[in-house]
Amino acid sequence: GAVVSQHPSWVICKSGTSVKIECRSLDFQATTMFWYRQFPKQSLMLMATSNEGSKATYEQGVEKDKFLINHASLTLSTLTVTSAHPEDSSFYICSADLAEGVSDTQYFGPGTRLTVL
């Protein structure tokens, strides 16, 4: 149980185009999902918290107009990188929050490798 999928697993795009990444919780409902960015050999950097039916909460320094997040249902959140540039190239990972007893556990997707040419 507690499986999270991401699509696509990798994407290459030209500078100036927009890219959408989907995150789905396959066997549970997630009121809250998180989007992270990870650079090589570094830790996970939280970009934003996505709440079903409401606006996402962005971390300081993350451009909300560039990284659009939509949490349309209890099993789907999307991240759209608008007008992508080479510096947006990175590994993007989502997680879905599952309430288990008194604790909330985040289950991560497999990640999406974005390369902007």
Binding residues for another protein (CB under 8 A) = 2, 4, 6, 32, 34, 41-44, 46, 49, 91, 93, 95, 97, 99, 102-111, 113
62 within 8 A of 47, measured Cβ to Cβ: yes
Rounded to a whole number of angstroms, the minimum distance from the CB of residue 42 to another protein is 7
Tokens of 81: 């990188």
What distance lies between CA 81 and its chain's CA centroid?
A: 10
Question: Which amino acid would we find at residue 116?
Answer: V
Minimum distance, C-beta of residue 43 to another protein, in the bound complex (Å): 5
Closer CB to another protein, residue 51 or residue 80? 51
Backbone φ and ψ of 88, nearest 5°: -85, -10
DSSP 26: S
If the CB atoms of residues 34 and 84 are measured against another protein, the closer one turns out to be 34
Is 5 or 82 the residue whose CB approaches another protein more closely?
Answer: 5
